[in-house]
Structure 1
Amino acid sequence: MTQKIQNIAIIGGGTAGWLTAGILASRLRNRILNKDLTITLCESPNIPTIGVGEGTWPTMPATLKKMGISETDFIRECDASFKQGSKFNGWGNDSGQGFYYHPFDTPVGMLEGLIPEYWLQHTNQKSSLAQLFSPQEALCEAHIAPKSITHAEYAGEGIYGYHLNAGAFSKFLQKHCVDRLAVNHILADVVDVSLTPSGDINSVLLHESGELKADLFIDCTGFKSLLLGKALGVPFKPVTDVLFADTALAAQVNYPSETSPISSCTQSTAQTAGWIWDIGLPTRRGTGHVFSSQHTTTEQAEIDLRQYINNTGGCGDDISVRKIDFTAGYRDKFWHKNCVAVGLSAGFLEPLEASALVLVELAANFIAEQLPPTTDTLYIAEKRFNDKFKYRWGRAIDFLKLHYILSDRNTPFWQDNRSANSIPERLQELMQLWQYQVPKVSDFETAGELFQAASFQFVLYGSQFKANILSKLTPAEVQFATEQLNKNTVKTDRLLSSLPSNRVLLNKIYQFGLSKV
């Protein structure tokens, strides 16, 4: 029977659940205030948070601002710091030397391919593409912040995201959603899920809390996928033939002193059978070793992680390590009937390039923007959502795989990653094309693309991918690119001399706060 969608139930909390609740409640605020819509989040009181340092994309500042969150409060309460991109250490070869950056900036002329063509044809390529055309590589190398204390909240000299404590972030979002956005909160375990004769979810049965009914259910129950996977039977599609990592060892590392530099980028350091992440928070570093259990043992991976910590200013002998198993892949459908999965219940690839939280942001925004008016129009949103997010997950896999196939490292893990039968067909075709032309915006979907042309350019040419570009720039284009290079040199010098370090800025934010927008 057709009815208006007026009740949304989010099952599961954590970052995915509360971020989804916040985005929906802020975007649909008028309906909530008019008593035309209710949003209820139900989470288990018995599931601990993972609590590792986590990175976001530069989409997060706008998301928090739209939710009405103070950036000062967020930074203070979520142990957050500023992130301006990712640094890849030792991915090129087995020596472990060398690095490249994937900054958040998109310099003028990048999307059209003009800037990388200039870099390939008119420079000696000894200075990286990121170094010549974005100030963020130099800022990150010097641990410099993207703004100063005189900038207002969510304003700065460049594009930035955050590093944050995921457990603290979930609690912060919970309080904001309940106190400011009128989200109902239930603490209870899900005992069972009841279905209608047509196969929709009718309600979830809660331990000692009765039944929770809704018109639309959002599954944020993590890897368990209690609603979409277990109750509705939507199968999981592994992509372990493309992405081999299936295990992570996570650790928290104390700084040597209270004045130790805080990194302005997520660092990724290549290892024999995977890589190690290093995320700088104000109070500690979040580190972890992501690896393939088919190519190394947990014992050896832990030895490598502890050695890395010792080599980077920590004490690897004293830390505790937590093991996290995962399978790279995603659900065959993300939206089925009256249930949509967001976060780990939809799937997970690996932590490289921090795509997990941005997929939550994108999914929640889609639901808010295209919330079906009635139950008999659910199938329209279902089809649109599944089409768009199947594409997005596929392109995320391509981009992550790109990092591995560009490496010349020669252990079995890296050799297997370069095997043609592990590389998606679309990526193989693009790589063939990019031997003769640079990635351009026309190679990608113009709206809603997860990774744009500039991201592919930074990774391709940061890893010294060799290309024989057949097209030649006009004199006017050469002059334009030269001007951009000179402008970046001037801007980089100005920012290096005027902006504070990440540590200094965060200390000032704790003391004084940022001015409100």
Structure 2
Amino acid sequence: MTSRKDIKSVVIVGGGTAGWISACHLAKKLNARTPQIQVMLVESPNIPTIGVGEGTVPMLRETLKYFGIREDDFIHRCDVTFKQSVKFIDWNEPNSGEYYHHLFDYPYFKDFTSTWLNKSLSDRGRYADLVSVQGHLIDAGFGPKAMTQPQYRGAMHYAYHLDAAKFTKLLTEFGVEQLGVKHLLAEVIDTKIDAQGNILELYTDNAGVLTADLYVDCTGFSAQLIGSACNVPFVDKSDILFVDSALVVQLPYEDKYTPIPCFTKSTAQEAGWIWDIGLSERRGVGYVYSSQYSSIEQAESVLREYLGKAAEEISFRHIPMKVGYREKSWQGNCVAIGLSSGFVEPLEATGLLMFDATARMLAECFPANTDVMPLVANRYNQRVSNAWNRVIDFIKLHYVTAKRMDTPFWVDNKNEISIPDSLKEHLELWRYHIPTAYDFTSTLEFFNLENYLYVLYGSDFESKLKMTLNDEEERLFSEMTDKLDKQVTLLKSQLLPHRELIERIKLYGIQLN
């Protein structure tokens, strides 16, 4: 029987966004303790960041504020633009240009969902446009905040588009200089494991032997610690989410006046979808597709057709992706965060979301000693596995509710065999009942009522809810739309076009309070 030992040191293996956001969360929380806990990050100087996507969700805004990073510094250094939604194009009808927004702002009038459902198709318009001002404003090209609004505040909820490599560099400098993270450049070449499956030592190529009380695996898809050393099985979910490959490219703008969309464009294709993200200096474009339904040659052809002349004489980077998650993200004294823990396609920027959320969870529930570590690990594993399954449900929802049926990829996505039972149950219920907050009871439901409302009714989910609207409900509905129209007009007079907003922030900064 081993004696109780206080946890005094953490070694994170692997850099990139996952490694450094983990380091910053741990250092921010643990260095406030007495005695402080040493946080070290060791990364190979030879492995580049994968950087599949460059989109985020609003949670990152709260994280950066919590860390103490200035928003204007982040925008200036990381080629940042604002993201207010994901715009789903051609998900219901190929090559139609039809779209819906999954907005980041909460619906102003979600209580009118039943009224909207009972309107005729010709009268009700897009769901998002009748419950929020945000879709109107981003389609008109406006940013989410005025120059008079302080750091991390806006007229509407927002996230960011960013350059992943520049963001990692910012986190590296901030973690080392402001939070006291010890940074080591070395290659971990071997791992020593004891009889109970705990990591005892890490052997490096140029820094000798490293030891710690807790190890964090941020080595990406290689899962060097949690997979290779600790032998934790990988739970494959490619039978639910078919997309497992990506072709990516970075492109300059035609000129410095090109408008920058304030949303991620997600355009459906024959075997997946194409993201198109506008940063301040360039675009990031990628086709994520299923290798079961398309060859790499066909995928390249699809992406070149989408890009047109911009694709002439350029090559794409190909990234294979493992879809699923580890059976346990915490085994013994090893915790996996980032791609080593799991991955699903970047449709809703779930990668960075999971990196950020699980890193903060680890910091918040960090075990005091080795006796309590198994209890903490068990709860952590339950929460993370549940979070992965709920994320998978939400991503699958987009494919199930999409109306496209023009290729085997889209047909098979609607096959009941590929739909999780939990999602099937929700969808059957929601045919007769509008979703409520009581359908989302976990504290780790990253996608909640509002997110589901935007996707369900944005894709015109078939509802069998029938009721007769009385005169009072019709009057209230009319008042609601008038109020929303006036708010749109007011905000258009107060906000700036997106590119102009970014340029002004870079010139003048953002006030603190």
Which category describes the TM-score, using the shorter chain as reference length? over 0.9
Instruction: Give, in whole Å, the separation in 2 of the partners of 1:258 and 1:249.
Output: 26
On the 8 A contact 1:372/1:378 being kept in 2, the answer is: yes
Query: Could you say which residue in structure 1 is the equivalent of 2:215?
Result: 217
Q: CA deviation at 1:449?
A: 1.0
Q: CA deviation at 1:29?
A: 3.2
1:354 to 344, 349, 355: 349
Any residues of structure 2 matched to 1:299-448 within 5 Å, and which? 299-310=297-308, 315-409=310-404, 410-448=406-444
Correspondence for 2:29: 27
Further displaced range: 79-88 or 484-493: 484-493
* Displacement after TM superposition at 1:306 (Å): 1.3
Q: Is the 8 A contact 1:2 1:375 kept in 2?
A: yes
- Measured in 1, the distance between the counterparts of 2:106 and 2:68 equals 27
**Number of the residue aligned with 1:296:** 294
Which residue does 1:67 correspond to in 2?
67
2, 14, 25: which is aligned to 2:4?
Answer: 2
The 5 A counterparts of 1:235-314 are 235-310=233-308
Does the Cα contact within 8 Å between 1:247 and 1:324 map onto a contact in 2? yes
State the partner residue of 2:464. Answer: 468
CA positional deviation for 1:479 = 6.4
Shift of the 4–470 alpha-carbon distance from structure 1 to 2, 3 Å rule, reads farther
More deviation in 137-146 or 242-251?
Answer: 137-146
Query: Structure 2-normalised TM-score?
Result: 0.96
Query: By how many angstroms is 1:109 displaced?
Result: 5.2
Match of 1:457 in 2: 453
Distance in 1, Cα, partners of 2:20 & 2:254:
34
From 204, 207, 211, give the equivalent of 2:205.
Answer: 207
Q: Secondary structure at the match of 1:45?
A: coil
Quote the Cα distance in structure 1 between the aligned partners of 2:493 and 2:49.
40
- Corresponding residue SS for 1:375: coil
Q: Is the 8 A contact 1:81 1:162 kept in 2?
A: yes
CA distance, structure 1, for counterparts of residue 479 and residue 336 of structure 2:
47
Offset, 1:465: 1.4
Give how far 1:421 is off. Answer: 0.7
| CA distance 1:175–1:443, change in 2 (3 Å) | same
Report the AA paired with residue 48 of structure 2: P
| 2: CA distance, partners of 1:391 / 1:474 | 42
Match of 2:114 in 1: 117
**Unmatched tracts of structure 2, length 5 or more:** none
Contact 1:336-1:382 at 8 Å conserved across structures? yes
- 1:94 match: 94
1:172 corresponds to: 170
- Give the Å deviation of 1:473: 7.6
Q: Deviations over 1:282-323 (max 9, x none)?
A: 01110000111111111111111111112xxx6111332100
Equivalent position to 2:193, from 181, 192, 195: 195
Indicate the RMSD between aligned Cα atoms, in angstroms: 1.8
Aligned 8 A contact 1:132 1:489 in 2: no
Equivalent residues of 2:127, 2:458 under 8 A apart: yes
Change (3 A) 1:276 1:387: same
Rounded to whole Å, the distance in 1 between the matches of 2:29 and 2:141 is 35
Q: Is the 8 A contact 1:139 1:496 kept in 2?
A: yes
Aligned to 1:17: 19
Q: Which amino acid aligns with 1:367?
A: L
Q: 1:73 to 1:378 in 2, by over 3 A?
A: same
Please name the residue that 1:163 is paired with: 161
Q: Quick one: distance in 1 between partners of 2:315 and 2:256?
A: 21
In the TM superposition, what whole-angstrom CA distance separates every residue of 1:27-82 from its partner, at most 9, and x where no partner exists? Answer: 23312xx5421111111100112356511110111100110101111011111110
SS in 2 for 1:228: helix
Distance 2:221 2:97 in 1: 36
Distance change in 2, residues 1:198/1:98 (3 Å): same
Between 461-470 and 240-249, report the one with greater CA deviation: 461-470
Cα 1:5–1:109, aligned 2, differ >3 Å: closer, same or farther?
farther
CA distance in 1 between counterparts of 2:157 and 2:439 reads 24
Kindly provide the amino acid, as one letter, of the partner of residue 117 in structure 1: S
More displaced, 443-452 or 506-515? 443-452
Alpha-carbon distance between aligned partners in 1 of 2:88 and 2:57, rounded to the nearest angstrom: 16
Which AA in structure 1 matches 2:112? I
Letter aligned with residue 11 of structure 2: A
Q: Is the 8 A contact 1:75 1:81 kept in 2?
A: yes
Provide the residue aligned with 2:126 in structure 1.
128
Contact 1:192 1:204 in 2 (8 A): yes
CA shift, 1:478, in A, is 6.7
**Corresponding letter in the other structure for 1:392:** A
Q: Is the contact made by 1:437 and 1:471 (CA closer than 8 Å) also made in structure 2? A: no
> Is 2:506 the partner of 1:499?
no
The alpha-carbon deviation at position 480 of structure 1 amounts to 6.0
365 and 261 in structure 1: CA distance in 2 versus 1, 3 angstrom threshold: same
Q: Deviation digits for residues 195-249 of structure 1, max 9, x if unmatched?
A: 1232111121111101111111111100001111110000111111111111100
**Distance in 1 (alpha carbons) for counterparts of 2:284 and 2:483:** 35
Contact 2:30 2:36 in 1 (8 A): no
Partner secondary structure for residue 494 of structure 1: helix
CA offsets 1:396-434 (integer angstroms, 9 cap, x no match): 111111111122222111011111111111111111111
- Aligned partners of 1:96 and 1:270 also within 8 Å: no
Deviates more, 1:291-300 or 1:89-98: 89-98
SS of 1:493's equivalent in the other structure is helix
Task: Give TM-score, length-normalised by structure 1.
Answer: 0.95
Deviates more, 1:505-514 or 1:101-110: 101-110
CA distance in structure 2 between the partners assigned to 1:67 and 1:349 by the alignment? 27
